[in-house]
Structure 1
C-alpha cells in the first residue's frame, strides 16, 4: 500500500508539473511573439522588446571568475565528480552569476539593464575539467580538455561581451528629461514617511509650542511643506537628462536577455512546452494504470 501511495504521488506530481511547465512555456513564447520590437528613444513605458548591441558601462571592469576573461556579464558553475554504490555523477558544489548592470544601445539611444531576475541566454559558454576546486588561469580548450583523465571537477562559464547583439524584453522605465509624471499625493506621502524616520527632527522643525507632539495645525504645516518638497524634487529630476532602465516586470511576464533572437527563443520555449506535455501525458497514464490496478 505504501508503494502504491508513493507511485500515485509521483505520477500525479509528474502530470501536474508537466502541465504547469507546458502552459508556462507556451505563455512565455506567446509574450515574445506578441510584443512588438521598439526603439529605445520612442519606446512606451511598460513592457517592451529591444534589439541592440551591448556597450561597456563606464568605469566598470568585469572578468569571468573562472577564466579571468573580460566581459560584461558572467555565470559560472563548478561540479565535483562523485561516485557511490549506485553510480557516478557530477555534483554541483558552487555557482553564481554577475549582478553588474548592462548597457544596451540601438540607433536611437541606450538603456541600462538590471539583470537580476532575468533568464539570460548568452552565446559564449565554456566547459572544461580540472583537478582544483577553483581553476587557475584560462580554460584548457579543444579536445585536450575533455580527454584528460583523472579530472575531479568540471567548470562551466557563460559570458556576455562588448559588441555582442542582445535581445531584451522586460519592464522599461525612463526617469528625468521631463518625461516622468508627478503623482503629487504619493510623492507627498513618501516625503512625510521619510521625515517620520527622524521624528525628533520633525518635531524640531514643526512643533511650535514645544509640547513634544504635533497638533492638527502643525500637521497641516507638515503636509504643506512635504507637498512643496515633493514638487521641488520632481523639478530637479525633470531637468536631469533622460535615463532609460530595463528591469524585471512586476507581473508574471518573462524577463529575458538573450544572444539569440525572438524566433529562436520562442522555438526553444515550444520544445520545452512539448516536453512538459509529454511528461504530463506519461504522468496521467501512470496514474490511470495504478488506479486500474487497485480496482482490479
Structure 2
C-alpha cells in the first residue's frame, strides 16, 4: 500500500507540473463562488469577464493544437515535402550521447529541476541563468523555496526506415513519459528524459539541403581554390611554369584558373549524387514545434478534452456575466424620516 501511495503521489505531482497552466486557467472561476457576496457588483463582473477571456484563449490554444496534431499527415523523411511536417520514428544519437546530470544515464535529451526549502532568504534573483536554465528563489512563511532548472539542447537524429533527420530541440515543446523523482540532501529532484531508441512523434519545419546547395557561388568557390593553391607556391610553379622562368605569367595563370574551375565543377557534380541532409527545426510562423515519446492519438485526445473543458468554463462565466448584467442588484431603500429620527429620551 505504501508503494502504491508513493506511486500515486509521484503521478499526481507529475500531472500538476505538466498541466499547471491549464489547471490555473480552469480553476480561475472557483474563487468567484466564494467572493460572490464579498465583492462589489462591478468587481465580480470584471472577474467573470476576465475568466471568460482566459478560458476562451486557452480553448483556442488547445483546439488549435488538437487540429494540428489530428490534421497533419505523417510523412516519410526521404519523401517529405519541405515545410511543416509530422514525422514518426526512433531517436538516435547524432554523435556522443548526452548524460543526465542527476542520474548519469545516457540520453537524447534531459530536463532536471531541483526544489528545496531553507529557513533564510528573500525574493531575489540568483544571477543570470545559464543557457536553457532557470533559477529563482521564493520566500513563503519564513521559508525560502529554491528552484533550479536545466536542460540539454544537443541535437539528435530521428530515423524512420527511409532516412534520418537531425532534430534541434532548442525552443521545442517536449513531452515525455519518462519522469522520475529523487530526494538527495534535502532537495527534491525531478528528471525528464528522452532515451535512444524511443519512439518519437514530432511536428516541425523540415529543411532538406544537399551539400551542393549549401556551397558558395561558383566564382567564390574558384577564388577560394586559387587562394588555397597559392599557399604552396613551389607546387604551383612546378605544375604551371611552362617556360621555366620562375614566374607564372598571364597565359599560365589562365590555365591555373581553368583547372581550378574544372576541379570545383567536378566536385559539385559528385555532391549532387549525395543524399540530402534533413533538419527538423522550429517553424518561423509560430506553429507548434513538438517532440514527444507518446502516440499522436493520445496527444490529440488530451488537447481535445482540455479544449472542451475550457470552452464549457468560458460559456459558464459568460452566462453568469450576462445574468448579472440583466439582473443588477437592487439598491437598498433609503431610510424614512421616521427611521432616521433618534428616539426621545424618557
TM-score band by shorter chain is 0.5 to 0.7
Kindly report which structure 2 residues correspond to 1:253-292, keeping only aligned pairs within 5 A, or say none. Answer: 253-288=287-322, 290-291=324-325
Alignment partner of 1:103 is 2:153:
no
Indicate how the Cα distance of structure 1 residues 126 and 84 shifts in structure 2: closer, same or farther if over 3 A, else same: same
The answer on whether the counterparts of 1:80 and 1:91 sit within 8 Å (CA) in structure 2 is yes
Describe the shift of the 1:17–1:72 C-alpha distance in structure 2 as closer, same or farther (beyond 3 A): same
Q: Which has the higher contact order (CA 8 A, sep 6+)?
A: 1
> Contact 1:79/1:154 (CA < 8 Å) preserved in 2?
yes
Give SS of 2:302's match.
helix
How far the C-alpha of 1:27 sits from its partner, in A, is 1.6
Q: Tell which structure's C-alpha radius of gyration is larger.
A: 2
Cα distance between partner residues in 1 of 2:171 and 2:43 = 34
- Residue by residue, what CA displacement relative to the aligned partner does 1:230-258 show, whole Å, maximum 9, x if unpaired? xx9xx698576521000111123222111
Task: Please tell me whether residue 84 in structure 1 is matched to residue 84 in structure 2.
Answer: no
**CA 1:6–1:124 in structure 2 vs 1: closer, same or farther (change >3 Å)?**
same
Give the Cα–Cα distance (whole angstroms) in 1 for the partners of residues 313 and 181 of structure 2. 29
Match of 1:245 in 2: 279
What is the distance in 2 between the residues matched to 1:128 and 1:283? 41
**Superposition map of 1:1-296 within 5 A:** 3-58=40-95, 60-81=96-117, 84=141, 93-132=147-186, 153-176=187-210, 180=213, 241-288=275-322, 290-291=324-325, 294-296=328-330
CA drift of 1:5 comes to 4.7
Q: Any conservation in 2 of the 1:13–1:283 contact (CA below 8 Å)?
A: no
**TM-score when scaled to structure 2?**
0.57
Q: 1:36–1:49: 8 Å Cα contact kept in structure 2?
A: yes
| Matches of 1:283 and 1:127, distance apart in 2 | 38
After superposition, the Cα gap between the structure-2 partners of 1:8 and 1:39, relative to the gap in structure 1 and judged at 3 Å, is: same
C-alpha distance in structure 1 between counterparts of 2:328 and 2:60, whole Å: 31
Structure 1, gaps ≥5 residues long: 133-152, 192-231
Q: What number of residue pairs does the alignment pair up? A: 226
Measured in 2, the distance between the counterparts of 1:92 and 1:289 equals 45
Check conservation: 1:77, 1:92, Cα contact below 8 A: no
With over 3 angstroms needed to count, the CA separation of the structure-2 counterparts of 1:6 and 1:156, relative to structure 1, is farther
Give the TM-score of the pair, scaled to structure 1.
Answer: 0.65
RMSD after superposition: 3.5
C-alpha spacing 1:269/1:109, structure 2 compared with 1 (3 Å): same
